[in-house]
Structures are given as structure tokens and as C-alpha cells.
Amino acid sequence: MAQQMAAQLGQPNPETRGKRGKRKPVDMPVNPGLGKGYVSPAVPLAPFDEWAKTKPAYAHIPPAPRFANGEWQNNFTSLLKSKLLQRVQSFLVFQTLWSVVCYFLYWNIPILAAAAKILTLQIHSLTGAALSLLLLFRTNSAYARVYDARCIWGQLTNTIREMARLAHTNMHGLDREHALMLTGAIPTLMLNHLQSHDGQYRATQWSEAQKGVLTNLLSEHDFKCIWAARNRPMTACKMLGAVYRSWFINVPALKKQFANKAPDVDLNDDERALMAANIQAAKIHQERQLEIISNCYGACERIVRSNIPNFYSKHLSRFLSVWCFTLPFVLVHRS
């Protein structure tokens, strides 16, 4: 048998012997994937050269976009298009007009000019330090929320991959495909569930493209059930749990998957115990992944619903407004 396979593969006969019956050394083909290892003459070498000519889907994981030093010109020219500037433009316009009015009053009303000369920069210098601490706390809170969200979304990504792996390992047939479809729909459902309905900053909220992704991924019945629900990620998780439950009570399919036995073949005690242990471990593992998914979108909802305390925002806004409105009186007589 080995001689026939070696002849078919065009490789030297491993059973070649000398006149005295001693085995002659045979040049074994070197496995290019292992470097120092060897492969059996009966196993054909992998076509690494042909695989190298095929372009992969993506050569590497695309990194996050980073700021480049050469982008300063583009950033400067697009200053007026900044979304942050658009959000604070009303306050900037008012502060500019207020500064012009203060300058006009300083040169036309002597009493105000005399009062402005009494004011010094010491008050604003001392209160500026406190104001910077308040702004720093607000900035750190914002960055902490972003970091927390990134950690949660990373855990969600790892859990989705683990659920897909477990579905391929422990399930087969239509139940596996059903579980994979629901698993693939969870990230899109969570993303749109957590976004607000603001058309300016969240223009992709349940867009036609995302709706098309779900209709192409899910069946018509699953899409209608999820679309009619109020909390769509939780509905998808409940449906996925029902698919797992349906699979783990299908005795013929479990016997074929975990014991490699036909449905009409009886199992001995050892096979039955081993099958029960494997089924229990697989079910517990998959249910644990669903629990992690539930914890992830619960934590994301906490970030969306919990904001910086309202009294803190009001106090900071009042403090900053008084500080900015009185600053022109301090600087006008130094102009």
C-alpha cells in the first residue's frame, strides 16, 4: 500500500531495500512549513507557492487611525467645520460681542473706566486654578467613560467569537446555522440600541444599510420578532438561548455529535457517562457566554443612562460664565 501511494505521488519508495535486506536511506521531502521536520512520503506537500500567490482577505488587522504630523494644515483649514466649534459657537459669539460692549463702555463712561482700573488679575488668577481643576475632572470623567466602553465592547467581541466557535464545535445542522445567524446579529443590534436618535451625530441610527444587513442575515420570522421588540439585543439573546435549549434536548443529534453513534444504537455505561459530561460542560459554557453578553449590554446601558451629575454641570457652567463675563473688565484698561 505504501509503495502504491509513493508511486502515485511521484516520491521514492520507502520500502527500498538492498541485496542483504537492509533498508536503504531514502531522501525524504522536507516540509517547508516546519523547517527541520520531515513528512511521510504518503502525504503530499502543501502547495505553499500557490497559496502565496493568492491575495488574503486582509493582510493584518487595520489599526486605529492616528494623528500624523503632516495633517496640521488640513486641521487648520477645517477649523470652521469642527463639530466642537459648532456646539460652542453661540457662547463664543456672545462672549465676543460682550467684550466689544465692555470696550465701548470703558471709553465712553468714565465711572466704569475708573471701576475697571480697580480690578486686578489676581482674582481671576486664583479662581482660574479652581476652574481648571473642575474642567479637568470633567475631562477625566469623559475619558473614563470612553475607556470603560472600549473595554466592554472588547469583551463583547471576544464573547461573540467564543460563541461562534462553540456553535461550530458543539452543534451541527440547522440549529448551528440558526445560532450563528443570531450571534452575528447581536453587535449590530447592540450598536443601534445604544445610539441616540440624534440625526446630526448618529445619522446611521437604524439606517437602510443596517436594516439590509439584518434582513440578509436573519430569517423573516426572526427579523419580525426582533424588530417588534423594545429591547432588541435582549430579544436576540432570549432567542439564542431557546436555540441552545432546543439543541441540547435533541437526543438523536446529541448522540451523533458527542458519541458518534446512530440514533438506534445503544450506548454502554461508559459512553453514556462520557456523553452526559460533555453535554453538561458544553451547555454550561454556552449559557455562560450568554450571561456575559447580557452583562455587556447592561453595562453599556449604564454608561448611556448615567451622566455627570446635573448639579455639577450647572455649577461649572455658572462658574465659567461669571469668570468669562468679568474677564473683559479686568483686561480692558490694559489694552
State if pTM tops 0.95.
no
pLDDT of residue 102: 86
| Whole-angstrom distance, CA of residue 254 vs CA of residue 176 | 13
pLDDT at 261 over 60: yes
| Whole-angstrom distance, CA of residue 56 vs CA of residue 198 | 38
Sequence-separated (6 or more) residues with CB below 8 Å from residue 92? 85
pLDDT at 277 over 60: yes
Sequence-separated (6 or more) residues with CB below 8 Å from residue 188? 210, 213, 214
Rounded to 10 deg, the angle between the 83-108 and 110-118 helix axes is 120
SS3 250: coil
Q: Percentages helix, strand, coil for the chain, rounded to the nearest 5?
A: 70, 0, 30
Q: What is the pLDDT of residues 202-254, one digit of tens each?
A: 555 666 777 777 888 888 889 888 888 888 899 999 999 999 999 998 888 88
How far the first Cα of the chain sits from its last, in Å, is: 101
pLDDT at 198 over 90: no
Q: What is the pLDDT of residues 154-181, one digit of tens each?
A: 999 999 999 999 999 888 888 999 999 9
> 296-319 burial, b for 16+ CB within 10 Å, e for fewer?
bbebbeeeeeeeeeeeeeeebeee
Q: When comparing pLDDT for 113 and 186, which is higher?
A: 186
Q: What is the pLDDT of residues 233-244, one digit of tens each?
A: 999 999 999 999
Closest CA to 324 of 97, 79, 110: 97
Angle (CA) 118 124 126, round 5°: 120
